[in-house]
Structure 1
Amino acid sequence: MKFAQQLFGIGLSLFAITLYGCEPKKNSLNKQTIIAQAVLDKEKPSNNTVKIALLLDTSNSMDGLINQAKAQLWDIVNKFTHAKCGNQGAPNLQIALYQYGNDNLSSREGYIQQVLGFSDDLDEISEKLFSLTTNGGEEYCGKVIQTALGQLDWGKNPDNLKMMFIAGNEPFTQGKLNYEDAAINAKEKDVIVNTIFCGDYQQGIHTQWKHGATLTGGEYTAIDHNRRVVHIDTPYDDVIIKLNSKLNKTYISYGALGKKKIQIQLDQDDNAMEMEEAVAVKRAVSKSSRLYKNSKWDLVDAYAEGTVALGNINSDELPSELKNKTSKEIESYILKKKEERKKIQKEIQELNAKREIYIAKNRKENSKDNLEGAMLEAIEKQAAQKNYKW
């Protein structure tokens, strides 16, 4: 009897190994496997997440790199809008941001700063990117990689896609902490380090940027960080911009955080528009996607996720149009805004599909010689290894 129990335990373990992964294999189910499935469903981490850490050199010569990051953030976000991990559905996206090589940063910390930990708040990510300024300094690649590995919560879910992108233009070997040691630590955490050298391709190889990527199975790319990002204007841009304004009016802020966040939403729209209308269009597309979530301050998202009880909200926490309203009246207003939002988001997505076809027909080149091109190429290759599909 004891042997039979041990045999069943081994069989259950093997079943777990077979099932655990991004896309479970199909198995014929009997009563025992159904029980085993229930146990696994309970124990297996359900948070399928893509985690990307951006490590940006903000020394004097990197203004072009920072501008590319600001302009192309939304391309990276939009890449994951329709991503799926096997049969498990769409993953979450979290982005962290570090700056390094800036004299304004603490020398004790190696001229390194965590600007933002892992966040799925797209407005917050944009706000932090636009806060970056450049200044001369020492650029320690090994140190910033090791710092990001230690400070960020990478998690232990083997299904998650975990990536770093480090960009800069000084030798990868600078600093007391050996980049090879940092790479070993990255591999232990299942984090792929991709390196982007801002300069000549061969110079990046000679200064070990390629080796730094190879050690973790990452991609090495050299870009012209001073190259101006060229966007293709389309007949759909103006309409999408107008729809974005309508979309903003479907948000119902609540609480002290709500007042602050709804202003940040508008500020980041302005930041995108100041760069170029095409950037504002890409941001609007991101805002119409499932990745733009604001349940911490928006009643529509909070109500949809069930994270707020309408009867527990004080009247002074509500916008003027909802003060002194009953819970039923507030609920009716929320549902109305939800339907409006859903309709606007659908319109933006449909227009964006036409926009992408137009861009594909009119694009003269498909250059990787910028931050977006370097990142998207690496993302596609490494996501495929985790069974992510589009």
Structure 2
Amino acid sequence: MKNLIKTLAIALSLTTVTACNANSKRNTQDLAIVETKLETNVKSDNPEIKVALLLDTSNSMDGLIDQAKAQLWQIVNELSYAKYEEKNPNLKIALYEYGNDNLNADEGYLRQVIAFSDDLDEISKSLFSLTTNGGNEYCGKVISTALNQLNWGDNEDDLKLIFIAGNEPYTQGQVSYKEASKLAHKNDVTVNTIFCGDYDQGISAYWKDGADLTHGNYMAINHNKASVHIASPYDDKILELNEKLNKTYIAYGESGRAKMELQAEQDSNARGYNKANAVSRTVSKSSRLYKNSSWDLVDAEKEKDFSYDDLTQDQLPEELKGKSKDEIKSYVKTKRNEREKLQQSIAQLNIKRRDYISKKSTDEANGLENAMISAIKTQAKKKNYNWE
């Protein structure tokens, strides 16, 4: 059977972790584990916004990780409005953690959690997998690793950004941050630094210098501040539409059922913060950036290499087994029409929601979200990106 599922570049990385029993506080032996990291390589004529997020997961960074989890969907939504010469840029996000004593010392206490991906559910899952412990934070090492491991490409129209967040001196480790910055500049990658603490303290710890070397933004945030989510009168209706939206997905192939369960799991993770955050995720799910062609027939049908002739009975969901090709096409078309109407309704409600929130907003801007969006828009403008 021809390959129906979007080809994924699979990078296997051996990582040694130290498991800690929280009850007995006894350290067990280091365990070598194999992790699969997915990188999507979808062919597209549109430029890409590539964001590598490098998060310090040492003991003091629980607040930072919490902000990242709580603010992911707002960041995605803001990026969905970006334009480049009337084109809609694609978004790919990669995630690294560093400064965690559970990670392999020989690798510099860092780990690639997920390579560049446009699978928003997988990115959300990766963020929610992060935990904090210990701390040896080597900024130069994690930056150079991300530059060397990730597929940054050579398209001059792409916006290539690294965001590194932490609270220890930027100079730690055997890899010089200055050498890492030179490598970033050579590859047209802008490094933005986010110091978790006092602005002047971050400057004295060389975080500003790290950003300046690649013409990036230096920012300081209060990483322990709770994320601010403003409720709106439109939230309940949007969440109601989300339930209907989920019913328009037609899971197929080996990963279909698991991916649908992952979708529900990330809905639940978003709700774990509050209703407004779940609404932000729903808006992301109704946007052009939420792509599921690897497991959903509605999205898959739009791909150039898709053919109904390649479908086999064992790949189909129960409701489509034994159906003719025409019957399957008709079913997919019905679900597509339902989804498009729901997406349109969510988008219309979101316009009203954004207007309501803008009028209710105070100066209590979310730290990580505000820092990232501000930097992205500043640097995107230099490459002629604009926002709707």
Task: For residue 81 of structure 1, report the CA deviation from its aligned partner.
Answer: 1.3
1:354 aligned partner, one-letter code? K
How far apart are the structure 2 equivalents of 1:86 and 1:381?
Answer: 17
Q: Which of 93, 96, 118 is residue 95 of structure 1 equivalent to?
A: 93
How far apart are the structure 2 equivalents of 1:264 and 1:312?
Answer: 25
**Greater CA drift, 274-283 or 48-57:** 274-283
Whichever of the two has the greater Rg, that structure is 1
Q: Secondary structure at the match of 1:356?
A: helix
Q: Secondary structure at the match of 1:127?
A: helix
Q: Which of 254, 264, 288 is residue 266 of structure 1 equivalent to?
A: 264
Counterpart mapping for 1:234-253 below 5 A = 234-253=232-251
Task: For residue 365 of structure 1, report the CA deviation from its aligned partner.
Answer: 1.7
Taking structure 2 as the reference length, the TM-score comes to: 0.87
2:68 aligned partner, one-letter code? A
Q: Secondary structure at the match of 1:255?
A: coil
Counterpart mapping for 1:65-214 below 5 A = 65-87=64-86, 89-214=87-212
> Paired residue for 1:379?
376
Q: Which of 312, 322, 325 is residue 324 of structure 1 equivalent to?
A: 322
Does the 8 Å CA contact 2:192/2:375 hold for their aligned counterparts?
A: yes
Q: Secondary structure at the match of 1:108?
A: helix
Task: For residue 366 of structure 1, report the CA deviation from its aligned partner.
Answer: 5.4
How far apart are the structure 2 equivalents of 1:157 and 1:307?
Answer: 23
How far apart are the structure 1 equivalents of 2:310 and 2:303?
Answer: 16
Task: For residue 200 of structure 1, report the CA deviation from its aligned partner.
Answer: 0.5
Task: For residue 277 of structure 1, report the CA deviation from its aligned partner.
Answer: 1.2
Q: Secondary structure at the match of 2:220?
A: strand
Q: Secondary structure at the match of 1:331?
A: helix
**1:48 corresponds to 2:47:** yes
Task: For residue 137 of structure 1, report the CA deviation from its aligned partner.
Answer: 1.9
CA RMSD of aligned residues (A): 1.0
> Paired residue for 2:63?
64
2:70 aligned partner, one-letter code? A
Unaligned runs of 5+ in 1: 1-44
Task: For residue 364 of structure 1, report the CA deviation from its aligned partner.
Answer: 1.9
2:78 aligned partner, one-letter code? K
Task: For residue 47 of structure 1, report the CA deviation from its aligned partner.
Answer: 4.0
Taking structure 1 as the reference length, the TM-score comes to: 0.87
How far apart are the structure 1 equivalents of 2:114 and 2:166?
Answer: 19
Unaligned runs of 5+ in 2: 1-43
Q: Secondary structure at the match of 1:251?
A: coil
1:74 aligned partner, one-letter code? W
Aligned length: 344
How far apart are the structure 1 equivalents of 2:235 and 2:75?
Answer: 19
| Structure in which a larger fraction of residues adopt strand | 2
Does the 8 Å CA contact 1:204/1:222 hold for their aligned counterparts?
A: yes
Q: Secondary structure at the match of 2:373?
A: helix
How far apart are the structure 1 equivalents of 2:359 and 2:85?
Answer: 30
